[in-house]
Amino acid sequence: MSTITIDDLTKRFGETTAIDGVSLSIDDGEILGIVGPSGCGKTTTLRTIGGFETPTSGRILFDDDDVTRVPPERRNVGLVFQSYALFDNMTVRENVQFGPKMQGVPRQERRDRADRLLSMLGIGDLSDRDPSTLSGGQQQRVGLARALAVEPRILLLDEPMTGLDAQLKRRLRDEIGSLLTELDVTALYVTHDQVEAMEMCDRIAVMNDGHVEQLGSPREVYESPATQFVSEFISLDYPEFAFVEETG
Ligand code: ATP
């Protein structure tokens, strides 16, 4: 995993400025959330880190490597989207092994990796199934295992829980949160759901209209909002949020 630095990043699409001078860093092993209303630039930020958009200006560093002009397939990022996009002509295990196979990882090692990840996600018994026979939550776990199997420098998650029911979302939130922490994954988590970000992320960037309004721990953002916008956006539907007191 790596430390990710975004330095003064701007992306314009014609007349639209999707992101406007965004700077932030994601520490090695950290889960950074990006929240904000529709159209504020969350997905564009994620896609630019993944290499699927070329910034109009600014730089992206993975550790000390400037990857701003490096194509996506050479950045080694793991991607999890709301649409699971699993390959239906392959079993679950084959789906998870696909990325490592493309990377030239030896057969036994990629099988071991796939089995380990699937069992960590509680779906080891589904390895030989066709993905189309799985539930939405199971497919999302396979998607996550597949993204992690390439041992990415950063895991990019874009609204991964969309389309799942509330109860399943809560369960996956806990499970995925602990798994990412256990594996010490550096991750960027894009969501419009404040609660999801609060519970899963080490720090949160609140975006509005292409720029970062505030970057801080969930507690800082919730208890000491830097702007009126942050205050309104964060407090919206999380009145019952209780922070666990830090000890030690
Ligand atoms: P949502 O929560 O709705 O997914 P978002 O915060 O992820 O929104 P982006 O998808 O990053 O927002 O979009 C930011 C702005 O850039 C929007 O105004 C959007 O219309 C515009 N935009 C994004 N991609 C393109 C594109 N390929 N061409 C033109 N405009 C784009």
- For the chain, the residue count is 248
Percent of the chain with pLDDT over 90: 64
The string of pLDDT tens digits covering residues 83-112 is: 667 888 999 999 999 999 988 999 999 999
Tell me how far apart the alpha carbons of residues 241 and 108 are, in angstroms, rounded to a whole number: 45
**Residues in CB range of 230: below 8 A, 6 or more apart:** 206, 213, 214, 221
- What is the pLDDT at residue 53? 94
Query: pLDDT digit string (tens) for 109-150?
Result: 999 999 999 998 889 999 999 999 998 888 988 999 999 999
CA distances from 23 to 5, 68, 138, 180, 213 (A): 8, 14, 35, 24, 11
Q: What pLDDT shows up at residue 248?
A: 43
234 close to ligand 1 (CB < 6 Angstrom): no
**Is-above-0.85 flag for pTM?**
yes
d(CA 42, ligand 1 centre) in Å: 8
User: Mutation test of ligand 1: which of 43, 45, 157 has the most ligand atoms closer than 8 Å to its C-beta?
Assistant: 43
Partnered with residue 13 across adjacent β-strands are: 16
CA distance 173 to 161: 8
**φ, ψ of residue 81 in degrees (nearest 5):** -115, 175
Complete domains list, the chain, with CATH: 4-76+152-236 (3.40.50.300), 88-145 (no CATH)
For 48-97, write each residue's pLDDT tens digit. 999 999 999 999 999 999 999 999 989 999 988 876 678 889 999 999 99
Give the tokens for residue 86: 């699993």
